[in-house]
């Protein structure tokens, strides 16, 4: 077995790699096929579309009434009405009817004085072609309706049919073969969730890339998954490249691992033009040529795969059909916090965006290339150029939108402490008012207060314990938001405690056991209410943070803490009962605490905030919260404090 590692030493910038891609393949255009017009939506004309008939192809009444020869109405007036005889000088017509021979105008029915079946009087003349759609008014036979290169949309279909064009010549859809590789991969329809073993990965990239192919006007086929075997992958690629495909994408095996085979496969059959692009995510991507066809080595991490496809394979597919590259919709946004970035690599940072005080504020999502939810949750993407080390707070930058601006304007930004009930709230609000959304960012309770102070959110979730009197949040608000008028509304009471493995194999009973038993611990980030609670408890027990193994290892959500325990990274973590229960872990109660929503007064009376407050007091919301376990809703919706 070839276990040589693929180290990419000559990475290209996105611009350089794109230039090479189109120098090699920009001339490729798919063949021409003839389609019925009714099946041609979104296809590109390869030949001009010339009208075969006029539309309308007769003089047609544009109103309900009578058709007349305009000359017969001349001289009509209130004092001198003109009499018309149905069937002789006047002919009843409905809108769209062909005009009877010898007529050239229509008098609207509401302008007629019908005396009897044989007599109609009019008190005003009409001019020739009044209320008539003349032959060829819309389309004249032999008119060029659309030139080659036109993308047929829904409106185009109507024009083509009206012009007597029932079939069109269009560029064929490019055909793409997607080959997923990796010994760890499992197909969704062949597995049982409870049978997944450590190391098993549900293969999803081929489905995602297939959807992206369709988004770029192409069709696709998926090859059966291949394990990491050089000979088998080589044979599959060689066979596929000889078939009627316009592009081949190998998923996985483009990085520098000992079992990454995309590079040796392509080199054994053809040549590689680029391996490694200075972008994050997606750096390991490669492309080359086999049998004169483009072949891509797509990274296996989901976000890397998407970025690589959208930056390279997608634009090439559009070009093959004479389609223009998609122009992203961009808006200026202000980062709510500093965004660091690595020099020399262009970074695609996924962000949530919301409108606060007339400004579009962005908060970054985790940057892991394996986290596809950072794209499903994102409102936009900020591209940080390779020649800068990051973006400063409140610097104005452009974000490529993934959602319409109207949706962003109707988004309530909740920043601060993580709580599972925020997901329930988002779902309930969407059900009650479909145009309203919630975007929650988990930066800890203190981070939420700072976001309010900076004008970066509509409300903050917090559970900051005052160790002097046992109250929550109010003393912190008075200290850090002294110049801000706010409302404090209780969302829930919740149980905080130690999350431990199912069955509690280490027999943990209290926070003291963290030290006495030398347990590995997973913490929450500095500034979070949970971290403050832990520090308070440690101080009361006279335990130094240095005595807690893993004190400096932290996560940003309660569920992430629970996953750390479930996976064996830690013996215990401090979090809420709902997180432990969600992952079927054991829970040792420590305290029942207050989790509140802190809302600036200038937002409190807005419609979207009032919808939030009305929703949390509904029985449906409270019932859903209680079903999570470890919550109390007795005070939900109560005003705790107003500054």
DSSP for 80-123 reads SPEEE-BTTTBEEE-TTPBPPTT--EEEEGGG-EEEETTEEEES
Q: Is the pLDDT of residue 371 over 90?
A: no
Q: Encode pLDDT of 108-135 as tens digits.
A: 999 999 999 889 999 999 999 999 999 9
Q: Is the pLDDT of residue 3 over 50?
A: no
Structural contact between residues 288 and 280, judged by C-beta atoms closer than 8 angstroms: no
- How crowded is residue 223: how many other Cβ atoms within 10 Å of its Cβ? 20
Query: What is the percentage of the chain residues whose pLDDT exceeds 70?
Result: 98
For residue 58, which phi and psi values (nearest 5 degrees)? Answer: -160, 165
Q: Give every CB contact of residue 430 below 8 A, 6+ residues apart in sequence.
A: 436, 437
Q: Is the pLDDT of residue 429 over 90?
A: yes
Q: Is the pLDDT of residue 6 over 70?
A: no
Structural contact between residues 170 and 32, judged by C-beta atoms closer than 8 angstroms: yes
The residues with which 639 forms a beta bridge, in sequence order, are 489
d(CA 488, CA 599): 6
Mean pLDDT estimate for the chain: 93
Structural contact between residues 282 and 307, judged by C-beta atoms closer than 8 angstroms: yes
Q: Encode pLDDT of 503-543 as tens digits.
A: 999 999 999 999 999 999 999 999 899 999 999 999 999 99
Decide if domain 328-402 falls under CATH 2.40.340.10: yes
CATH code at 14-28+174-320: 3.40.980.10
Tell me what pLDDT residue 553 has. Answer: 95
What kind of fold does domain 60-133 have according to CATH? Molybdopterin biosynthesis moeA protein; domain 3 (2.170.190)
Q: Is the pLDDT of residue 196 over 90?
A: no
CATH code at 445-642: 3.40.190.290
- If we measure between CA atoms, which residue out of 333, 426, 417 comes closest to residue 379? 333
Tell me what pLDDT residue 293 has. Answer: 96
Q: Of the ranges 3-17, 75-89, 210-224, 237-251, which one carries the lowest mean pLDDT score? A: 3-17
Q: Encode pLDDT of 450-459 as tens digits.
A: 999 999 999 9
Given pLDDT bands bounded at 50, 70 and 90, which one contains residue 573?
very high
Numbered ranges of CATH 2.170.190.11 in the chain? 60-133
Numbered ranges of CATH 3.40.190.290 in the chain? 445-642
Tell me what pLDDT residue 460 has. Answer: 97
Mean pLDDT of 252-269: 78
DSSP for 395-462 reads --EEEEESS-HHHHHTEEEEEES--THHHHHHHHHHHH-TT-EEEEEE--HHHHHHHHHTT--SEEEE
Tell me what pLDDT residue 369 has. Answer: 86
Cis before residue 294, ω within 30 degrees of 0?
A: no
Q: Is the pLDDT of residue 2 over 50?
A: no
Q: Is the pLDDT of residue 256 over 70?
A: no
Tell me what pLDDT residue 472 has. Answer: 96
Q: Encode pLDDT of 203-251 as tens digits.
A: 999 999 999 999 999 999 999 999 989 999 999 999 999 999 999 999 9
If you ran DSSP here, which 8-state letter would residue 12 be given? B
d(CA 449, CA 443): 10
Mean pLDDT of 430-442: 88
Q: Is the pLDDT of residue 370 over 50?
A: yes
Mean pLDDT of 479-499: 97
Query: What is the percentage of the chain residues whose pLDDT exceeds 90?
Result: 81
Decide if domain 32-55+138-171 falls under CATH 3.40.50.9100: no
Give the tokens for residue 244.
């009627």
- How crowded is residue 243: how many other Cβ atoms within 10 Å of its Cβ? 12
Numbered ranges of CATH 3.90.105.10 in the chain? 32-55+138-171
Numbered ranges of CATH 3.40.980.10 in the chain? 14-28+174-320
- pTM (global) more than 0.85: no
Mean pLDDT of 145-151: 94
For residue 412, which phi and psi values (nearest 5 degrees)? Answer: -95, 120
Tell me what pLDDT residue 279 has. Answer: 95
Q: Is the pLDDT of residue 597 over 80?
A: yes
623: left (phi over 0), alpha (psi -120 to 50) or beta: alpha
Tell me what pLDDT residue 254 has. Answer: 64
Give the sign of the dihedral formed by CA 444, CA 446, CA 447, CA 448.
positive
Tell me what pLDDT residue 82 has. Answer: 94
- If we measure between CA atoms, which residue out of 223, 228, 143 comes closest to residue 182? 228
Tell me what pLDDT residue 247 has. Answer: 97
Tell me what pLDDT residue 261 has. Answer: 86
Q: Quote the strand ranges of 253-358, DSSP E.
A: 271-275, 279-280, 286-290, 293-298, 330-335, 339-340, 346-356
Radius of gyration of the CA atoms of the chain, in A: 34
Q: Of the ranges 1-10, 102-111, 189-198, 295-304, which one carries the lowest mean pLDDT score? A: 1-10
Mean pLDDT of 414-431: 93
CB neighbour burial string for 61-72, b if at least 16 within 10 angstroms, e if fewer = bbbbbbbbbbeb
**3-state DSSP: the chain helix, strand, coil percent, rounded to 5?**
30, 30, 40
Q: Is the pLDDT of residue 1 over 70?
A: no
Numbered ranges of CATH 2.40.340.10 in the chain? 328-402
For residue 629, which phi and psi values (nearest 5 degrees)? Answer: 90, 140
Q: Is the pLDDT of residue 619 over 50?
A: yes
């Amino acid at each position: 077995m070839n276990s040589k590692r693929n180290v990419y030493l000559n990475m290209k910038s996105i611009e350089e790699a794109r230039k090479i891609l189109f120098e090699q393949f920009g001339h490729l255009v798919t063949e021409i096929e003839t389609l019925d017009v009714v099946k041609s939506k979104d296809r590109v004309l390869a030949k001009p579309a010339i009208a075969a008939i006029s539309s309308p192809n007769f003089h047609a009444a544009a109103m309900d009434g009578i058709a007349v020869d305009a000359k017969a109405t001349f001289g009509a007036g209130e004092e001198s009405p003109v009499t018309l005889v149905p069937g002789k000088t006047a002919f009843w017509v409905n809108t769209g009817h062909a005009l009877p021979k010898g007529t050239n105008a229509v008098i609207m029915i509401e302008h007629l004085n019908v005396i009897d079946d044989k007599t109609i009087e009019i008190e005003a003349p009409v001019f020739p072609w009044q209320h008539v759609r003349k032959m060829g008014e819309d389309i004249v036979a032999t008119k060029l309706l659309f030139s080659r290169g036109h993308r047929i949309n829904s409106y185009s279909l109507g024009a083509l049919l009206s012009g007597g064009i029932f079939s069109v010549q269009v560029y064929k859809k490019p055909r793409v073969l997607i080959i997923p590789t990796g010994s760890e991969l499992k197909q969704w329809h062949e597995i049982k969730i409870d049978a997944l073993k450590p190391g098993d990965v549900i293969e999803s990239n081929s489905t995602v890339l297939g959807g992206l192919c369709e988004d770029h006007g192409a069709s696709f086929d998926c090859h059966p998954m291949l394990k990491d075997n050089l000979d088998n992958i080589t044979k599959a690629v060689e066979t596929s490249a000889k078939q009627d495909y316009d592009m081949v994408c190998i998923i996985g095996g483009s990085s520098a691992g000992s079992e990454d085979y995309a590079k040796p496969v392509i080199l054994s059959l053809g040549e590689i033009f680029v391996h490694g692009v200075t972008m994050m995510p997606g750096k390991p991507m490669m492309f080359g040529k086999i049998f004169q066809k483009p072949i891509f080595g797509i990274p296996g991490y989901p976000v890397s795969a998407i970025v690589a496809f959208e930056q390279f394979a997608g634009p090439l597919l559009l070009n093959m059909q004479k389609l223009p590259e998609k122009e992203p919709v961009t808006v200026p946004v202000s980062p709510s916090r500093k965004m660091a970035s690595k020099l020399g690599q262009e970074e695609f940072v996924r962000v949530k965006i919301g409108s606060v005080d007339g400004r579009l504020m962005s908060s970054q999502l985790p940057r892991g290339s394996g986290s596809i939810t950072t794209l499903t949750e994102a409102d936009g993407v900020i591209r940080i150029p390779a020649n800068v080390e990051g973006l400063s707070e409140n610097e104005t930058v452009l974000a490529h939108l993934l959602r319409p601006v109207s949706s962003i304007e109707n988004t309530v930004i909740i920043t601060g402490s993580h709580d599972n009930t925020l997901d329930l709230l988002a779902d309930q609000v969407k059900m009650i008012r479909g145009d309203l959304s919630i975007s929650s960012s988990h930066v800890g309770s203190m981070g939420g207060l700072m976001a309010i102070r900076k004008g970066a959110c509509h409300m903050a979730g917090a559970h900051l314990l005052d160790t002097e009197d046992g109250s929550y949040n109010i003393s912190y608000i008075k200290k850090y938001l002294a110049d801000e008028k706010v409302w404090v509304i209780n969302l829930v009471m919740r149980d905080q405690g130690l999350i431990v493995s199912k069955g509690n194999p280490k027999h943990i009973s209290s926070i003291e056991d963290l030290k006495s038993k030398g347990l590995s611990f997973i913490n929450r980030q500095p500034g979070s209410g949970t971290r403050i609670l832990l520090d308070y408890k440690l101080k009361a027990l006279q335990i130094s943070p240095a005595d807690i193994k893993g004190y400096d290892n932290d996560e940003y959500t309660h569920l992430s803490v629970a996953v750390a325990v479930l996976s064996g990274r830690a013996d215990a973590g401090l979090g809420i009962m709902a997180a432990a229960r969600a992952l079927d872990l054991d829970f040792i109660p420590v305290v029942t605490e207050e989790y509140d929503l802190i809302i600036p007064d200038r937002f409190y009376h807005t419609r979207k905030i009032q919808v939030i407050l009305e929703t949390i007091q509904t029985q449906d919301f409270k019932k859903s919260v209680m079903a999570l376990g470890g919550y109390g809703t007795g005070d939900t919706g109560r005003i705790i404090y107003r500054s």
